[in-house]
């Protein structure tokens, strides 16, 4: 008997086919039939014409720590996500021998904007090896399916300790130990290998994250350690590494490489730079070497104060300052030397930096003093023009006046619908980079899929509903080799999203204090969502989580080769 029958839905199958009015039946966690279903189910839902789509596949999350204390993986399932990939950029919490555990958490707290006290209070260290971590995730019984990347930085830390961020070249013995850990992770069910060469990735006390200081040869050796089976992808926060360099790795090892970098996001100050990068990927595809770009569908935005000015950290002036507390920042920000150094960096920004000196994208969100309330919602550029002052001085002086408590919002990259749409349509891109679970002080982009349906499908019409859903579901699933997900078809896993296309969207950000120890984080809530199902079990009813005890999510450990490996020789689609 079918456990669930959803009747009268407008089925958007995730494969790009025209939506059809149909019933969908679920048995043993999988879709058993699509069409007119006469048999009754143990549970029946009248969709009354609501759209039924596959759950979203979120390729770029950082739930590695949170999942050990929060099986819901909040807020992602409420926002339509039924499968997440963790461990991106090479940052995670495994392997983790006891001597390096706090070091791992300290670095993670800075590079991914997490509450260190919450991490220390919340992470349940019931594992040390990758295999033990996967077993702990199965015991946690999450509400969404999870896949885990082996991580270059965390593996390097496990082998080298604090020297991982200090010494660029590993010894032959250390490299061999890292390779063994990569091979062990792949054997234990890792979906691939992640790393970072990003200028924006620093750890605790301002130290570089371990992988960022290494030569690409070390990463190449670790990719080689993934083995000879074709399953498994490579994900890289690429920093200054070029498409051509990554194409060499893709070709040598026969693996799809997924590049994440601010330089590939639309930048109104250099509008063609990102397109050139996408076109370089297209050329690599034509040579049979799949290199893809993870592209967000939302502006890259941050809420921040000058006490924790993360968007500026990759500039030279903040190389030491990013580790300071307010008591040291306040006198530093007053000095001409600091300001001149920051100005010099902004005069010639390197590609890939989050902040490129576009002060018209920095807004005063919440002044700390009542007398400054008239500045609310005004840009730093506008205020500076009114005062005839340098924008950098205006921002620093305002922050100092308010004891570094002024809340700013910056939207630095991927701003401008026409430019972003060109990238989203490009077949060298895959919609990703929600960073869900990370940067909780600044933002919550976990609702990227609902935003995509609201903004790019309904409001702008850049995608029709069928293709918009495909871009969020089967497209990322197939590129990463996640089998039988991201589609509504007989035999596929019943990961489902029931929603109203006319109202679907995501709320503005709000702050909640629900982290371990009472720490605060930023979340967003769904609009127009009527139900989310993982493996046929409802996990969110449109208002709240509805699981009783264990969640229905699976810890994914068996994958198919990336669909990108079957294209080759000029078959990459036109944008």
pLDDT of residue 39 exceeding 80? yes
For helices 380-387 and 391-401, what crossing angle results, to 10°? 100
pLDDT of residue 442: 67
The tens digit of pLDDT for each residue in 128-186 reads 999 999 999 999 999 999 999 999 999 999 999 999 999 999 999 999 999 999 999 99
Quote the pLDDT of residue 356: 83
Whether residue 460 contacts residue 504, with contact meaning beta carbons closer than 8 Å, is answered with no
Give residue 501's pLDDT band: very low, low, confident or very high (50, 70, 90): very high
The answer to whether the CB of 165 falls within 8 A of the CB of 203 is yes
* Cα–Cα distance measured from residue 141 to residue 144, given in angstroms and rounded to the nearest whole number: 9
Distances (CA, A) of 330 to 98, 368, 393: 37, 16, 14
pTM to 2 decimal places: 0.91
| Residue count (the chain) | 575
Question: What is the average pLDDT across 344-356?
Answer: 82
What residues form DSSP beta bridges with 408? 304, 364
- Please tell me the predicted confidence (pLDDT) of residue 574: 32
Query: What's domain 1-54+481-504+527-549's superfamily in CATH?
Result: Urease, subunit C, domain 1 (2.30.40.10)
Taking residues 528-541, what's their average pLDDT?
Answer: 98
Contact predicate 86/460, CB 8 Å: no
Q: What is the DSSP letter of 199?
A: T
Band (pLDDT 50/70/90 cuts) for residue 571 is very low
- CA dist., res. 386 & res. 402, Å (int): 20
Residue of 173, 79, 86, 95 lying closest to 131 (CA atoms) = 95
Q: Which run of H or E residues covers position 363?
A: strand 362-366
What is the CATH topology of the domain spanning 56-299+414-446? TIM Barrel (3.20.20)
Cα-to-chain-centroid distance, residue 80:
15
The residue assigned the tokens 């759209």 is 51
Those residues with Cβ within 8 angstroms of residue 260's Cβ, 6 or more apart along the chain or in another chain: 60, 88, 89, 235, 236, 237, 238, 293, 294, 432, 433
CA dihedral 5, 11, 13, 14 (to 10 degrees): -120
Render 136-158 in DSSP notation, one character per residue.
HHHHH--SSEEEEEEEHHHHHHH
Mean pLDDT of the chain: 94
Q: Where in the chain is the domain with CATH 2.30.40.10?
A: 1-54+481-504+527-549
Q: Is the pLDDT of residue 569 over 50?
A: no
Q: State the Cα–Cα distance between residues 273 and 257, nearest whole angstrom.
A: 20
Render pLDDT for 110-123 as a digit per residue (tens, 0 to 9): 889 899 999 999 99
d(CA 30, CA 194): 30
The values of phi and psi at residue 166, to 5°, are: -115, -30
In the chain, residues under CATH classification 3.20.20.140 are 56-299+414-446
User: Hey, how many other C-beta atoms are within 10 angstroms of the C-beta on 328?
Assistant: 12
Question: Which residues are 538's β-sheet partners?
Answer: 533
pLDDT of res. 575: 32
């Amino acid at each position: 008997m079918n456990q669930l029958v959803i009747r009268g839905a407008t089925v958007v199958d995730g494969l790009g086919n025209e939506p059809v009015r149909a019933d969908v039946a679920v048995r043993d966690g999988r879709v058993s039939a699509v069409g007119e279903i006469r048999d009754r189910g143990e549970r029946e839902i009248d969709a009354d014409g609501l759209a039924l789509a596959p759950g979203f596949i979120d390729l770029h999350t950082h739930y590695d720590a949170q999942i050990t204390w929060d099986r819901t993986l909040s807020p992602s399932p409420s926002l339509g996500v039924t499968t997440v990939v963790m461990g991106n950029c090479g940052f995670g919490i495994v392997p983790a021998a006891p001597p390096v555990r706090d070091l791992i958490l300290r670095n993670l707290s800075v590079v991914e904007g997490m509450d260190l006290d919450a991490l220390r209070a919340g992470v349940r260290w019931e594992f040390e090896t990758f295999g033990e971590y996967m077993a702990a995730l199965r015991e946690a019984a999450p509400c969404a399916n999870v896949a885990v990347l082996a991580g270059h930085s965390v593996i390097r830390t496990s082998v080298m300790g604090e020297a991982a961020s200090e010494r660029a070249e590993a010894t032959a013995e250390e490299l061999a130990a890292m390779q063994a850990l990569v091979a062990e992770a792949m054997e234990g069910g890792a979906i691939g290998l992640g790393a970072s060469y990003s200028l924006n990735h620093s750890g605790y006390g301002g130290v570089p994250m371990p992988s960022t200081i290494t030569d690409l040869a070390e990463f190449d050796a670790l990719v080689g350690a993934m083995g000879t089976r074709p399953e498994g992808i490579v994900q890289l926060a690429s920093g200054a590494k070029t498409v051509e360099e990554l194409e060499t790795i893709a070709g040598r090892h026969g693996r799809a490489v997924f590049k994440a970098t601010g330089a590939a996001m639309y930048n109104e100050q250099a509008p063609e730079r990102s397109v050139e990068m996408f076109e370089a990927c297209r050329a690599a595809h034509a040579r049979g070497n799949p290199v893809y770009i993870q592209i967000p569908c939302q502006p890259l935005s941050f809420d921040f104060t000058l006490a924790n000015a993360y968007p500026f950290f990759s500039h030279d002036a903040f190389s030491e300052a990013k580790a300071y507390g307010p008591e040291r920042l306040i006198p530093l920000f007053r000095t001409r030397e600091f300001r001149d150094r920051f100005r010099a960096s902004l005069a010639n920004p390197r590609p890939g930096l989050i902040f490129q000196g576009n002060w018209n994208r920095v807004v005063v969100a919440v002044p700390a003093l009542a007398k400054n309330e008239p500045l609310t919602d005004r840009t730093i550029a506008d205020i500076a023009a009114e005062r005839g002052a340098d924008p950098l001085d205006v921002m620093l002086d305002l922050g100092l006046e308010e004891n570094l408590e002024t809340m700013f919002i910056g939207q630095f990259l991927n701003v401008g619908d026409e430019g972003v749409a060109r990238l989203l349509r490009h077949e060298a891109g895959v919609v990703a980079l929600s960073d869900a679970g990370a940067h909780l002080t600044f933002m919550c982009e976990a609702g990227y899929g609902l935003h995509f349906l609201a903004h790019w499908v309904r409001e702008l019409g850049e995608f029709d509903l069928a293709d918009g859903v495909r871009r969020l579901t089967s497209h990322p699933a197939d590129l990463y080799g996640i089998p039988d997900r991201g589609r509504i078809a007989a035999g596929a896993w019943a990961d489902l999203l029931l929603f109203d296309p006319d109202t679907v969207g995501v709320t503005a950000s709000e702050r909640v204090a629900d982290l371990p120890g009472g720490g605060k984080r930023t979340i967003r809530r769904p609009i127009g969502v009527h139900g989310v199902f993982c493996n046929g079990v409802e996990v969110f009813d449109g208002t709240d989580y509805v699981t009783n005890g264990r969640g229905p999510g699976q810890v994914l450990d068996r994958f198919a080769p990336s669909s990108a490996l079957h294209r080759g020789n000029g078959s990459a689609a036109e944008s």
